[in-house]
């Protein structure tokens, strides 16, 4: 499982970080910092999905490999 992030669609709602604080982090302006994980750890899978689903701009996609 990995996370794909489209920074051009992020407008800074910060809902991803609220729903998945251990997966999604914000920069000083409140925009999501692209997750550095190519593979999501098993204990963070729920947060990865919750954060992606919370994004109203659909800038985040969780991909099952």
* Domain parsing of the chain, residue ranges: 2-63
Q: How confident is the model over 16-32, as pLDDT tens digits?
A: 999 999 999 999 999 99
Q: In this predicted structure, what is the pLDDT of residue 37?
A: 64
Cα 48 to chain center, whole Å?
6
- Does domain 2-63 sit in CATH 3.30.70.20? yes
**DSSP per-residue string spanning 1-65:** -EEEE-GGG--S--HHHHH-TTT-EE-TTSPEEPP--SS--GGGHHHHHHHHHH-TT--EEEE--
Q: Of 43, 10, 44, whose CA–CA distance to 29 is shortest? A: 10
Q: How confident is the model over 39-49, as pLDDT tens digits?
A: 788 999 999 99
* pTM tops 0.75: yes
């Amino acid at each position: 499982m990995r996370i794909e992030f489209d920074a051009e669609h992020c407008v800074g709602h910060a809902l991803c970080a609220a729903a998945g604080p251990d997966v999604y982090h914000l920069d000083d302006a409140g925009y999501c910092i692209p997750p550095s994980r190519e593979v999501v750890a098993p204990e963070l899978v729920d947060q990865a999905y919750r954060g992606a689903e919370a994004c109203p701009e659909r800038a985040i996609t969780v991909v099952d490999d």
